[in-house]
Amino acid sequence: MAHEPTDPAWGTLLDLGERAAGPLHLRLVRALRAAVVGGRIAPGSALPPSRALAADLGCSRWVVTEAYAQLVAEGYFEARSGSATRVRTTAAGPAPSYERRPRHEPWKPEFDMLPGMPDLRAFPRKRWADAVRDAAGSLTPAEFGYPDPAGHDGLRQRIAAYLVRGRGAALDAGQLVVCGGTLDGVLRLSRALRTAGHTHLALEDPGWSRLRAAVTAAGLTPVAVPVDDAGLRVDLLRREPHVRAVIVAPAHQFPTGVVLTPPRRAELIAWARETDGLIMEDDYDAEFRYDRHPVGTLQGMDPERVALLGSLSKTLSPALRIGWAAVPPRLLDGLYAADAVGSPPPVIDQAAFSGFLRSGSYDRHLRASRLRYRRRRDVLLTEIAERLPRHRVSGAAAGFHLLLHLMGCAAADVVGGAARRDVRLADLAEYGAGKGGSARGATLVIGYGNLADTAVAGAVRRLADAIGEAGGPAS
Domain identity same for 274 and 336: yes
Average pLDDT over residues 235-252: 96
Q: Is the peptide bond before 206 cis (omega within 30 degrees of 0)?
A: yes
- The pLDDT of residue 459: 96
Name the packing angle between helices 125-138 and 361-387 (round to 10°). Answer: 160
Q: Range with the lowest mean pLDDT among 61-75, 90-104, 160-174, 392-406?
A: 90-104
Domain identity same for 369 and 463: yes
Identify the bridge partners of residue 445 per DSSP, sorted by sequence position: 403, 426
Out of 359, 382, 402, a domain closes at 359
Predicted confidence (pLDDT) per residue in 42-64, tens digit: 888 888 888 888 888 888 999 89
At residue 14 the predicted structure's pLDDT band, cuts being 50, 70 and 90, is confident
- Mean pLDDT (the chain) is 89
* Residue 462, domain CATH: 3.90.1150.10
- The pLDDT of residue 43: 86
For residues 267-295, one letter each, b for 16 or more C-beta atoms within 10 angstroms of the residue's C-beta and e for the rest, the string is bbbebbeebebbbbbbbbbbbbbbeeeeb
Q: Is residue 188 part of a domain?
A: yes
Q: Is the peptide bond before 5 cis (omega within 30 degrees of 0)?
A: no
Please provide residue 164's backbone torsions phi and psi, each rounded to the nearest 5 degrees.
-65, -45
Out of 334, 359, 384, a domain closes at 359
pTM attached to this predicted model: 0.83
Domain identity same for 324 and 298: yes
Q: Is residue 111 part of a domain?
A: no
Q: Is residue 5 part of a domain?
A: no
Predicted confidence (pLDDT) per residue in 422-471, tens digit: 999 999 999 987 544 444 489 999 999 999 999 999 999 999 999 999 98
- The pLDDT of residue 328: 95
The listed range with the strongest mean pLDDT (34-38, 284-288, 421-425) is 421-425
pLDDT > 70: what percent of the chain? Answer: 92
Domain identity same for 152 and 178: yes
Q: Is residue 475 part of a domain?
A: no
Residue 6 has pLDDT above 70, yes or no: no
Residue-range definition of the domain harbouring residue 412: 364-469
Q: Range with the lowest mean pLDDT among 15-24, 106-115, 263-272, 427-436?
A: 15-24
- The pLDDT of residue 181: 92
pLDDT > 90: what percent of the chain? Answer: 67
At residue 4 the predicted structure's pLDDT band, cuts being 50, 70 and 90, is very low
Q: Is residue 52 part of a domain?
A: yes
Predicted confidence (pLDDT) per residue in 301-337, tens digit: 999 999 999 999 999 999 999 999 999 999 888 877 7
Domain identity same for 84 and 143: no
Query: Do residues 304 and 276 make contact, with C-beta atoms less than 8 angstroms apart?
Result: no
- The pLDDT of residue 81: 74
Out of 359, 393, 411, a domain closes at 359
- The pLDDT of residue 104: 67
* Residue 67, domain CATH: 1.10.10.10
- CA angle in degrees (0–180, nearest 5) for 244-246-250: 140
* 1 against 446, higher pLDDT: 446
Distance CA 108, CA 116 (A): 16
Domain identity same for 354 and 416: no
Q: Is residue 398 part of a domain?
A: yes
Q: Is residue 15 part of a domain?
A: no
113 Cβ neighbours under 8 A, 6+ residues apart: 423, 424, 425, 426, 446, 447, 448, 451, 459, 463
CA trace torsion 180, 182, 187, 193 (10° rounding): 120
Domain identity same for 349 and 391: no
At residue 360 the predicted structure's pLDDT band, cuts being 50, 70 and 90, is very high
- The pLDDT of residue 2: 44
Residue 122 has pLDDT above 80, yes or no: yes
Domain identity same for 136 and 88: no
- CA angle in degrees (0–180, nearest 5) for 193-197-198: 55
Domain identity same for 349 and 374: no
- The pLDDT of residue 105: 75
117 Cβ neighbours under 8 A, 6+ residues apart: 318, 447, 449, 450
Q: DSSP character for 253?
A: -
Q: Is residue 3 part of a domain?
A: no
* Residue 179, domain CATH: 3.40.640.10
Distance CA 137, CA 152 (A): 15
Domain identity same for 341 and 272: yes
Domain identity same for 228 and 351: yes
At residue 88 the predicted structure's pLDDT band, cuts being 50, 70 and 90, is confident
- The pLDDT of residue 91: 60
In 3D space, the residue among 344, 15, 2, 297 whose CA is nearest the CA of residue 150 turns out to be 344
Number of domains making up the chain: 3
Domain identity same for 172 and 63: no
Q: Range with the lowest mean pLDDT among 105-114, 151-160, 185-194, 433-442?
A: 433-442
Name the 3-class secondary structure at 48: coil
